A and B are shown apart, each in its own frame.
Chain A
Protein backbone atom coordinates (compact mmCIF):
# COMPACT_ATOMS: atom_id res chain seq x y z
CA UNK A 1 0.00 0.00 0.00
CA UNK A 2 1.30 3.39 -0.89
CA UNK A 3 1.08 5.41 2.31
CA UNK A 4 1.73 8.70 0.61
CA UNK A 5 -1.52 8.33 -1.26
CA UNK A 6 -3.61 7.66 1.86
CA UNK A 7 -4.61 11.28 2.55
CA UNK A 8 -5.34 11.77 -1.13
CA UNK A 9 -7.50 8.64 -1.22
CA UNK A 10 -9.27 9.77 1.94
CA UNK A 11 -9.84 13.19 0.40
CA UNK A 12 -11.27 11.74 -2.80
CA UNK A 13 -13.51 9.30 -0.93
CA UNK A 14 -14.75 12.00 1.41
CA UNK A 15 -15.44 14.49 -1.37
CA UNK A 16 -16.92 11.85 -3.66
CA UNK A 17 -19.30 10.47 -1.08
CA UNK A 18 -20.25 13.93 0.10
CA UNK A 19 -21.06 14.97 -3.45
CA UNK A 20 -23.11 11.84 -4.01
CA UNK A 21 -25.04 12.62 -0.83
CA UNK A 22 -25.29 16.32 -1.49
CA UNK A 23 -27.62 15.71 -4.40
CA UNK A 24 -26.82 19.12 -5.84
CA UNK A 25 -29.07 21.01 -3.47
CA UNK A 26 -27.68 23.46 -0.96
CA UNK A 27 -30.03 22.25 1.77
CA UNK A 28 -28.80 18.69 1.77
CA UNK A 29 -25.21 19.83 1.30
CA UNK A 30 -25.63 21.83 4.47
CA UNK A 31 -26.51 18.71 6.42
CA UNK A 32 -23.52 16.74 5.21
CA UNK A 33 -20.71 19.26 5.07
CA UNK A 34 -19.70 21.90 7.59
CA UNK A 35 -16.91 24.35 7.09
CA UNK A 36 -14.84 25.97 9.81
CA UNK A 37 -11.50 27.62 10.22
CA UNK A 38 -9.01 29.31 12.46
CA UNK A 39 -6.09 31.65 12.32
CA UNK A 40 -3.64 33.84 14.14
CA UNK A 41 -2.15 37.21 13.36
CA UNK A 42 0.92 37.82 15.44
CA UNK A 43 4.02 39.93 15.76
CA UNK A 44 7.13 39.12 17.76
CA UNK A 45 10.02 41.29 18.86
CA UNK A 46 13.33 40.09 20.32
CA UNK A 47 16.06 42.32 21.72
CA UNK A 48 18.77 39.69 21.11
CA UNK A 49 20.81 40.13 17.95
CA UNK A 50 23.11 37.07 18.00
CA UNK A 51 20.30 34.61 17.16
CA UNK A 52 16.75 34.52 15.81
CA UNK A 53 13.99 33.64 18.26
CA UNK A 54 11.62 31.14 16.59
CA UNK A 55 8.03 30.11 17.27
CA UNK A 56 8.28 26.55 16.04
CA UNK A 57 11.33 24.27 15.89
CA UNK A 58 11.09 23.79 12.13
CA UNK A 59 11.28 27.50 11.35
CA UNK A 60 14.62 28.37 9.71
CA UNK A 61 14.52 31.98 10.91
CA UNK A 62 12.57 34.15 13.28
CA UNK A 63 12.71 37.41 15.18
CA UNK A 64 16.04 38.93 16.05
CA UNK A 65 18.10 42.08 15.98
CA UNK A 66 15.42 44.38 17.33
CA UNK A 67 13.09 43.89 14.39
CA UNK A 68 9.48 42.75 14.41
CA UNK A 69 8.51 39.50 12.77
CA UNK A 70 5.01 38.48 11.73
CA UNK A 71 5.97 35.04 10.46
CA UNK A 72 6.43 33.18 13.78
CA UNK A 73 2.84 32.84 14.94
CA UNK A 74 0.67 33.92 12.01
CA UNK A 75 -1.29 31.16 10.31
CA UNK A 76 -4.58 30.31 8.66
CA UNK A 77 -6.43 27.00 8.56
CA UNK A 78 -9.66 25.87 6.94
CA UNK A 79 -11.49 22.66 7.59
CA UNK A 80 -14.39 20.71 6.14
CA UNK A 81 -16.22 18.04 8.14
CA UNK A 82 -18.24 15.53 6.19
CA UNK A 83 -21.02 13.40 7.54
CA UNK A 84 -21.39 10.54 5.12
CA UNK A 85 -23.55 8.06 7.04
CA UNK A 86 -24.41 7.73 10.73
CA UNK A 87 -21.17 5.85 11.30
CA UNK A 88 -18.90 7.27 8.62
CA UNK A 89 -17.46 10.77 8.64
CA UNK A 90 -14.49 12.57 7.24
CA UNK A 91 -12.36 15.60 7.90
CA UNK A 92 -9.98 17.62 5.76
CA UNK A 93 -7.91 20.49 7.14
CA UNK A 94 -5.56 22.69 5.17
CA UNK A 95 -3.06 24.91 6.95
CA UNK A 96 -0.85 27.74 5.83
CA UNK A 97 2.00 28.75 8.12
CA UNK A 98 5.71 29.42 8.21
CA UNK A 99 7.19 25.94 8.09
CA UNK A 100 10.54 24.24 7.48
CA UNK A 101 10.80 25.89 4.08
CA UNK A 102 10.00 29.31 5.49
CA UNK A 103 6.94 29.59 3.33
CA UNK A 104 3.22 29.88 3.84
CA UNK A 105 2.52 27.17 1.30
CA UNK A 106 -0.74 25.40 2.24
CA UNK A 107 -0.33 21.82 3.46
CA UNK A 108 -2.85 19.10 4.24
CA UNK A 109 -2.75 18.68 8.02
CA UNK A 110 -5.66 16.32 8.44
CA UNK A 111 -7.42 14.17 5.83
CA UNK A 112 -9.07 11.08 7.17
CA UNK A 113 -12.16 8.97 7.19
CA UNK A 114 -13.57 7.92 10.53
CA UNK A 115 -15.71 4.88 11.07
CA UNK A 116 -17.64 4.75 14.33
CA UNK A 117 -18.07 1.14 15.42
CA UNK A 118 -19.70 2.32 18.65
CA UNK A 119 -19.75 5.88 20.07
CA UNK A 120 -16.71 4.85 22.16
CA UNK A 121 -14.83 2.89 19.51
CA UNK A 122 -13.62 4.64 16.35
CA UNK A 123 -11.19 3.80 13.60
CA UNK A 124 -9.59 6.44 11.39
CA UNK A 125 -7.79 5.97 8.12
CA UNK A 126 -5.75 8.69 6.44
CA UNK A 127 -3.71 11.58 7.75
CA UNK A 128 -3.73 12.42 11.45
CA UNK A 129 -1.61 14.97 13.35
CA UNK A 130 0.48 13.12 15.94
CA UNK A 131 -0.39 13.50 19.63
CA UNK A 132 3.27 13.93 20.67
CA UNK A 133 2.72 16.36 23.54
CA UNK A 134 -0.14 18.22 25.19
CA UNK A 135 -1.85 20.50 22.61
CA UNK A 136 0.44 19.24 19.80
CA UNK A 137 -2.55 18.38 17.65
CA UNK A 138 -3.96 21.91 17.92
CA UNK A 139 -0.68 23.80 18.24
CA UNK A 140 -1.56 25.92 15.22
CA UNK A 141 -5.03 26.79 16.53
CA UNK A 142 -4.03 29.69 18.79
CA UNK A 143 -7.60 30.08 20.05
CA UNK A 144 -7.39 26.67 21.78
CA UNK A 145 -4.20 27.61 23.68
CA UNK A 146 -4.02 29.57 26.94
CA UNK A 147 -0.68 31.05 25.77
CA UNK A 148 0.63 32.65 22.59
CA UNK A 149 2.23 29.33 21.60
CA UNK A 150 3.25 25.98 23.04
CA UNK A 151 6.52 26.24 25.01
CA UNK A 152 9.00 25.38 22.27
CA UNK A 153 11.21 23.25 24.49
CA UNK A 154 8.58 20.51 24.80
CA UNK A 155 8.51 20.28 21.00
CA UNK A 156 12.29 20.19 20.59
CA UNK A 157 12.47 16.50 19.78
CA UNK A 158 10.38 17.59 16.86
CA UNK A 159 9.22 14.18 15.93
CA UNK A 160 6.97 13.81 12.93
CA UNK A 161 4.14 16.24 12.51
CA UNK A 162 1.52 13.89 11.16
CA UNK A 163 1.24 10.29 10.12
CA UNK A 164 -0.46 8.67 7.15
CA UNK A 165 -1.93 5.45 8.36
CA UNK A 166 -4.48 4.01 10.74
CA UNK A 167 -5.65 5.16 14.13
CA UNK A 168 -7.85 3.39 16.68
CA UNK A 169 -9.62 5.38 19.42
CA UNK A 170 -11.23 3.59 22.31
CA UNK A 171 -12.94 5.21 25.27
CA UNK A 172 -13.57 3.21 28.42
CA UNK A 173 -15.23 4.42 31.61
CA UNK A 174 -14.29 2.85 34.95
CA UNK A 175 -16.18 4.46 37.81
CA UNK A 176 -15.49 8.21 37.50
CA UNK A 177 -12.36 7.79 35.37
CA UNK A 178 -12.63 7.89 31.61
CA UNK A 179 -9.70 6.56 29.64
CA UNK A 180 -9.17 7.64 26.06
CA UNK A 181 -6.92 5.05 24.49
CA UNK A 182 -5.30 5.63 21.15
CA UNK A 183 -3.14 3.41 18.97
CA UNK A 184 -1.70 4.74 15.75
CA UNK A 185 0.48 3.29 13.03
CA UNK A 186 1.61 5.01 9.89
CA UNK A 187 4.20 6.66 7.72
CA UNK A 188 5.66 9.98 8.72
CA UNK A 189 8.60 12.16 7.91
CA UNK A 190 10.85 13.21 10.74
CA UNK A 191 12.27 16.71 10.76
CA UNK A 192 15.54 16.49 12.60
CA UNK A 193 16.62 19.20 15.01
CA UNK A 194 19.45 21.45 14.04
CA UNK A 195 20.08 20.14 10.57
CA UNK A 196 19.03 21.11 7.10
CA UNK A 197 18.26 17.63 5.82
CA UNK A 198 14.68 17.47 6.98
CA UNK A 199 11.89 15.04 6.16
CA UNK A 200 13.42 11.64 6.65
CA UNK A 201 10.76 8.97 6.08
CA UNK A 202 9.93 6.78 9.06
CA UNK A 203 7.30 4.43 10.37
CA UNK A 204 5.68 5.63 13.56
CA UNK A 205 3.82 3.71 16.23
CA UNK A 206 1.91 5.67 18.85
CA UNK A 207 0.26 4.44 22.02
CA UNK A 208 -1.45 6.98 24.22
CA UNK A 209 -3.86 7.12 27.09
CA UNK A 210 -5.60 10.21 28.42
CA UNK A 211 -7.25 9.64 31.76
CA UNK A 212 -9.99 12.11 32.63
CA UNK A 213 -11.27 12.41 36.17
CA UNK A 214 -13.60 15.39 36.42
CA UNK A 215 -11.47 18.44 35.65
CA UNK A 216 -8.19 16.55 36.03
CA UNK A 217 -6.55 14.87 33.07
CA UNK A 218 -3.43 12.76 32.89
CA UNK A 219 -1.87 12.14 29.53
CA UNK A 220 0.60 9.36 28.80
CA UNK A 221 2.12 8.81 25.39
CA UNK A 222 4.73 6.57 23.82
CA UNK A 223 5.98 6.96 20.26
CA UNK A 224 8.50 4.94 18.34
CA UNK A 225 9.94 6.07 15.03
CA UNK A 226 12.06 3.93 12.79
CA UNK A 227 13.42 4.64 9.35
CA UNK A 228 16.41 3.81 7.24
CA UNK A 229 17.34 7.28 6.00
CA UNK A 230 20.60 9.10 6.56
CA UNK A 231 21.01 9.20 9.48
CA UNK A 232 18.74 6.23 10.27
CA UNK A 233 15.78 7.23 12.42
CA UNK A 234 15.71 5.41 15.72
CA UNK A 235 13.74 7.61 18.04
CA UNK A 236 11.53 6.91 21.02
CA UNK A 237 9.52 9.60 22.79
CA UNK A 238 7.87 8.97 26.15
CA UNK A 239 5.66 11.74 27.49
CA UNK A 240 3.54 12.45 30.55
CA UNK A 241 1.41 15.51 31.28
CA UNK A 242 -1.05 16.55 33.94
CA UNK A 243 -3.73 19.24 33.72
CA UNK A 244 -6.17 20.52 36.31
CA UNK A 245 -8.65 23.00 34.90
CA UNK A 246 -11.85 23.60 36.88
CA UNK A 247 -12.67 26.70 34.79
CA UNK A 248 -11.75 29.60 37.07
CA UNK A 249 -8.04 28.74 36.97
CA UNK A 250 -5.69 26.10 35.64
CA UNK A 251 -2.38 24.43 36.32
CA UNK A 252 -0.63 22.10 33.97
CA UNK A 253 2.67 20.42 33.35
CA UNK A 254 3.99 18.37 30.49
CA UNK A 255 7.20 16.48 29.93
CA UNK A 256 8.86 14.14 27.50
CA UNK A 257 11.98 12.06 27.36
CA UNK A 258 13.35 11.39 23.89
CA UNK A 259 15.89 8.76 23.04
CA UNK A 260 17.53 9.24 19.69
CA UNK A 261 20.38 7.06 18.55
CA UNK A 262 21.95 9.82 16.48
CA UNK A 263 21.23 12.96 18.54
CA UNK A 264 21.27 11.49 22.03
CA UNK A 265 18.66 11.75 24.76
CA UNK A 266 16.68 14.85 25.75
CA UNK A 267 14.45 15.68 28.65
CA UNK A 268 12.02 18.57 28.19
CA UNK A 269 9.36 19.83 30.54
CA UNK A 270 7.27 22.84 31.49
CA UNK A 271 4.87 23.95 34.15
CA UNK A 272 2.24 26.62 33.71
CA UNK A 273 -0.61 28.16 35.62
CA UNK A 274 -3.18 30.85 35.10
CA UNK A 275 -6.38 32.38 36.41
CA UNK A 276 -9.49 33.52 34.58
CA UNK A 277 -10.74 36.91 35.70
CA UNK A 278 -13.73 37.61 33.51
CA UNK A 279 -12.41 38.24 30.01
CA UNK A 280 -8.78 38.31 31.18
CA UNK A 281 -6.67 35.22 31.77
CA UNK A 282 -3.14 36.01 32.97
CA UNK A 283 -0.66 33.14 33.03
CA UNK A 284 2.97 32.17 33.65
CA UNK A 285 5.18 29.42 32.20
CA UNK A 286 8.56 27.94 33.01
CA UNK A 287 9.97 25.64 30.34
CA UNK A 288 13.27 23.96 29.61
CA UNK A 289 15.01 21.23 27.65
CA UNK A 290 18.25 19.47 28.59
CA UNK A 291 20.35 17.00 26.65
CA UNK A 292 20.86 13.86 28.70
CA UNK A 293 23.42 12.02 26.64
CA UNK A 294 25.54 12.31 23.51
CA UNK A 295 24.44 10.31 20.48
CA UNK A 296 26.49 9.04 17.56
CA UNK A 297 26.46 12.57 16.10
CA UNK A 298 28.86 13.63 18.86
CA UNK A 299 26.86 16.84 19.43
CA UNK A 300 26.84 17.76 23.11
CA UNK A 301 24.15 19.58 25.11
CA UNK A 302 21.96 19.85 22.03
CA UNK A 303 19.03 22.18 22.45
CA UNK A 304 19.63 23.35 26.00
CA UNK A 305 17.79 26.49 27.05
CA UNK A 306 15.21 27.67 29.56
CA UNK A 307 12.38 30.19 29.40
CA UNK A 308 10.36 32.20 31.89
CA UNK A 309 7.21 33.69 30.41
CA UNK A 310 4.28 35.76 31.62
CA UNK A 311 1.32 36.80 29.57
CA UNK A 312 -2.37 37.50 29.40
CA UNK A 313 -5.18 36.30 27.17
CA UNK A 314 -8.12 38.62 26.61
CA UNK A 315 -11.31 37.25 25.08
CA UNK A 316 -12.44 40.60 23.75
CA UNK A 317 -15.17 39.47 21.37
CA UNK A 318 -17.02 36.36 20.26
CA UNK A 319 -14.57 33.87 18.65
CA UNK A 320 -11.69 36.34 19.01
CA UNK A 321 -8.92 36.65 21.53
CA UNK A 322 -5.76 38.65 21.84
CA UNK A 323 -2.67 37.70 23.82
CA UNK A 324 0.37 39.57 25.04
CA UNK A 325 3.35 37.54 26.19
CA UNK A 326 6.72 38.58 27.61
CA UNK A 327 9.43 36.02 27.98
CA UNK A 328 13.08 35.76 28.79
CA UNK A 329 14.96 32.92 27.15
CA UNK A 330 18.41 31.92 28.40
CA UNK A 331 20.78 30.13 26.03
CA UNK A 332 22.29 27.17 27.87
CA UNK A 333 24.09 25.67 24.88
CA UNK A 334 25.38 26.91 21.55
CA UNK A 335 24.44 23.60 19.91
CA UNK A 336 21.08 24.54 18.41
CA UNK A 337 19.51 26.10 21.51
CA UNK A 338 15.82 25.08 21.17
CA UNK A 339 14.29 28.57 20.95
CA UNK A 340 16.65 29.91 18.30
CA UNK A 341 17.76 29.62 14.71
CA UNK A 342 20.74 31.20 12.98
CA UNK A 343 22.87 31.36 16.13
CA UNK A 344 25.93 33.57 15.51
CA UNK A 345 29.43 32.48 16.56
CA UNK A 346 29.44 35.58 18.82
CA UNK A 347 26.59 34.17 20.95
CA UNK A 348 27.57 32.99 24.44
CA UNK A 349 26.10 30.52 26.91
CA UNK A 350 24.13 32.52 29.45
CA UNK A 351 23.01 35.12 26.92
CA UNK A 352 19.42 36.17 27.42
CA UNK A 353 16.79 37.21 24.89
CA UNK A 354 13.81 39.29 25.94
CA UNK A 355 10.91 38.54 23.65
CA UNK A 356 7.59 40.32 23.29
CA UNK A 357 4.74 38.62 21.41
CA UNK A 358 1.36 40.05 20.50
CA UNK A 359 -1.23 37.90 18.77
CA UNK A 360 -4.87 37.84 17.80
CA UNK A 361 -6.54 34.45 17.35
CA UNK A 362 -9.83 33.75 15.64
CA UNK A 363 -12.05 30.80 14.88
CA UNK A 364 -14.95 30.65 12.48
Chain B
Protein backbone atom coordinates (compact mmCIF):
# COMPACT_ATOMS: atom_id res chain seq x y z
CA UNK B 1 0.00 0.00 0.00
CA UNK B 2 2.79 2.31 0.93
CA UNK B 3 4.38 1.99 -2.48
CA UNK B 4 1.17 2.95 -4.22
CA UNK B 5 0.73 6.05 -2.10
CA UNK B 6 4.34 7.09 -2.31
CA UNK B 7 4.70 7.01 -6.07
CA UNK B 8 1.95 9.48 -6.89
CA UNK B 9 3.14 11.65 -4.00
CA UNK B 10 6.62 11.65 -5.45
CA UNK B 11 5.19 12.49 -8.85
CA UNK B 12 3.22 15.37 -7.42
CA UNK B 13 6.35 16.62 -5.73
CA UNK B 14 8.22 16.56 -9.03
CA UNK B 15 5.39 18.37 -10.75
CA UNK B 16 5.32 20.99 -8.03
CA UNK B 17 9.06 21.45 -8.28
CA UNK B 18 8.84 21.70 -12.05
CA UNK B 19 6.03 24.22 -11.81
CA UNK B 20 8.03 26.28 -9.33
CA UNK B 21 11.07 26.22 -11.61
CA UNK B 22 8.83 27.23 -14.47
CA UNK B 23 7.41 30.22 -12.63
CA UNK B 24 10.95 31.24 -11.73
CA UNK B 25 12.03 30.99 -15.34
CA UNK B 26 9.11 32.98 -16.69
CA UNK B 27 10.22 35.49 -19.28
CA UNK B 28 10.84 39.00 -18.11
CA UNK B 29 9.99 41.74 -20.57
CA UNK B 30 11.21 45.31 -20.71
CA UNK B 31 8.24 47.56 -21.28
CA UNK B 32 7.88 51.10 -22.57
CA UNK B 33 5.02 53.47 -23.22
CA UNK B 34 3.06 52.63 -26.43
CA UNK B 35 4.17 56.02 -27.78
CA UNK B 36 7.87 55.40 -27.08
CA UNK B 37 10.73 54.73 -29.52
CA UNK B 38 12.51 51.34 -29.49
CA UNK B 39 15.21 50.72 -26.88
CA UNK B 40 18.14 48.28 -27.01
CA UNK B 41 19.41 45.97 -24.28
CA UNK B 42 22.59 48.07 -24.00
CA UNK B 43 20.51 51.22 -23.52
CA UNK B 44 18.49 49.46 -20.82
CA UNK B 45 21.71 48.36 -19.06
CA UNK B 46 23.09 51.92 -19.21
CA UNK B 47 19.87 53.28 -17.71
CA UNK B 48 19.76 50.89 -14.77
CA UNK B 49 23.50 51.34 -14.12
CA UNK B 50 23.12 55.12 -14.03
CA UNK B 51 25.14 55.76 -17.17
CA UNK B 52 22.33 57.46 -19.06
CA UNK B 53 19.54 59.91 -18.30
CA UNK B 54 17.85 59.53 -21.68
CA UNK B 55 14.88 57.63 -20.21
CA UNK B 56 13.25 57.31 -16.80
CA UNK B 57 13.79 53.81 -15.40
CA UNK B 58 11.36 52.41 -12.82
CA UNK B 59 12.36 49.54 -10.61
CA UNK B 60 10.78 46.57 -8.89
CA UNK B 61 11.26 45.97 -5.16
CA UNK B 62 14.92 45.43 -4.27
CA UNK B 63 15.69 41.77 -3.66
CA UNK B 64 12.47 40.49 -5.26
CA UNK B 65 12.80 37.53 -7.63
CA UNK B 66 12.14 39.59 -10.74
CA UNK B 67 14.61 42.29 -9.57
CA UNK B 68 17.41 39.77 -9.11
CA UNK B 69 16.73 38.06 -12.46
CA UNK B 70 16.46 41.32 -14.36
CA UNK B 71 19.77 42.72 -13.12
CA UNK B 72 21.54 39.41 -13.66
CA UNK B 73 20.30 39.18 -17.25
CA UNK B 74 20.73 42.80 -18.27
CA UNK B 75 23.79 43.93 -16.31
CA UNK B 76 25.52 40.71 -15.15
CA UNK B 77 25.52 42.09 -11.62
CA UNK B 78 23.94 41.21 -8.28
CA UNK B 79 22.00 43.40 -5.86
CA UNK B 80 25.06 44.41 -3.79
CA UNK B 81 26.97 45.54 -6.88
CA UNK B 82 23.97 47.53 -8.08
CA UNK B 83 23.65 49.16 -4.66
CA UNK B 84 27.36 50.09 -4.72
CA UNK B 85 27.07 51.59 -8.20
CA UNK B 86 24.06 53.71 -7.26
CA UNK B 87 25.62 54.72 -3.93
CA UNK B 88 28.47 56.21 -5.95
CA UNK B 89 26.01 58.25 -8.00
CA UNK B 90 23.85 59.19 -5.01
CA UNK B 91 26.66 60.31 -2.70
CA UNK B 92 28.22 62.51 -5.37
CA UNK B 93 24.90 64.28 -5.84
CA UNK B 94 24.70 63.22 -9.48
CA UNK B 95 21.44 61.34 -9.28
CA UNK B 96 19.12 59.10 -7.35
CA UNK B 97 18.41 55.40 -7.96
CA UNK B 98 15.37 54.42 -10.07
CA UNK B 99 12.11 54.74 -8.19
CA UNK B 100 11.08 51.42 -6.66
CA UNK B 101 7.52 50.27 -7.08
CA UNK B 102 5.90 47.46 -5.09
CA UNK B 103 4.82 45.19 -7.96
CA UNK B 104 4.41 44.71 -11.70
CA UNK B 105 1.00 46.39 -11.72
CA UNK B 106 2.48 49.56 -10.31
CA UNK B 107 5.39 49.42 -12.81
CA UNK B 108 2.93 48.97 -15.67
CA UNK B 109 0.86 51.96 -14.51
CA UNK B 110 3.98 54.16 -14.22
CA UNK B 111 5.15 53.19 -17.72
CA UNK B 112 1.67 53.70 -19.21
CA UNK B 113 1.59 57.19 -17.70
CA UNK B 114 4.99 58.44 -18.89
CA UNK B 115 6.28 58.29 -22.49
CA UNK B 116 9.86 58.47 -21.15
CA UNK B 117 9.48 55.62 -18.63
CA UNK B 118 11.03 52.16 -18.91
CA UNK B 119 10.14 49.22 -16.68
CA UNK B 120 10.27 45.45 -16.50
CA UNK B 121 7.54 42.96 -15.62
CA UNK B 122 6.62 39.30 -16.20
CA UNK B 123 5.55 38.64 -19.76
CA UNK B 124 2.18 37.37 -18.52
CA UNK B 125 1.48 40.72 -16.87
CA UNK B 126 1.66 42.69 -20.14
CA UNK B 127 -1.49 44.34 -21.48
CA UNK B 128 -2.35 46.98 -24.10
CA UNK B 129 -1.43 49.89 -21.83
CA UNK B 130 2.28 49.26 -22.47
CA UNK B 131 4.51 48.01 -25.26
CA UNK B 132 7.07 45.20 -25.06
CA UNK B 133 10.50 46.60 -25.98
CA UNK B 134 12.62 43.52 -25.21
CA UNK B 135 12.10 39.95 -24.11
CA UNK B 136 14.79 38.71 -21.71
CA UNK B 137 15.22 34.96 -21.82
Contact = CB atoms under 8 A, between A and B. Distances in A.
Contacts of B137: none
A90 B114 CA distance: 24
B93 interface: yes
Contacts of A129: 92
A247 B76 CA distance: 6
Contacts, number: 71
A178 B88 CA distance: 18
A110 B89 CA distance: 13
A235 interface: no
A279 B80 contact: yes
A interface SS class: strand
B25 interface: no
A294 to B, nearest CB: 36
Interface string B80-104: 1101110110111110100000000
B51 A212 contact: yes
Interface stretch (A192-200, A220-228, A315-323): A315-323
B129 interface: no
A81 B94 CA distance: 10
A353 B135 CA distance: 54
A138 B76 contact: no
Contact of B93 (A38, A93, A176, A246): A93
Given A212-B51, A247-B76, A247-B81, A112 B91 contact: no
Given A119-B53, A247-B77, A91 B42 contact: no
Interface in A95-129: 110, 112, 114, 119-120, 124, 128-129
Contacts of A143: 83-84, 87
Contacts of A141: 87-88, 91
Residue from A128, A144, A173 with most neighbouring chain B CB atoms (10 Å): A144
A79 interface: yes
Contacts of A38: 87, 91
A77 B81 contact: no
B64 interface: no
B73 to A, nearest CB: 11
Contacts of A315: 78, 80
A1 interface: no
B84 A248 contact: no
Nearest to A145: B84
Contacts of A178: 46, 51-52
B33 to A, nearest CB: 17
Nearest to A113: B93
Interface in B23-62: 42, 46, 51-54, 62
Contacts of B63: 318
Nearest to B88: A144
B64 to A, nearest CB: 12
Contact of A119 (B46, B54, B80): B54
A77 B90 CA distance: 12
A85 interface: no
B70 to A, nearest CB: 14
A176 B90 contact: no
Nearest to B53: A119
B115 interface: no
A112 B93 contact: yes
A34 B93 CA distance: 12
Nearest to A126: B93
A158 interface: no
Contacts of B80: 279, 315, 318, 321
A113 B47 CA distance: 23
Nearest to A167: B93
Given A138-B87, A178-B52, A318-B83, 5 more contacts: A38-B87, A91-B93, A119-B53, A276-B78, A363-B87
19 contacts: A38-B87, A79-B90, A119-B53, A119-B54, A141-B87, A141-B88, A143-B83, A143-B84, A144-B91, A176-B42, A178-B51, A246-B76, A276-B81, A279-B80, A315-B78, A318-B63, A318-B83, A321-B80, A363-B87
Interface of A: 34, 36, 38, 77, 79, 81, 91, 93, 110, 112, 114, 119-120, 124, 128-129, 137-138, 141, 143-144, 169, 171, 173, 176, 178, 212, 214, 246-248, 276, 279, 315, 318-319, 321, 363
Closest 4 CB pairs of A and B: A247-B76, A91-B93, A315-B80, A119-B53
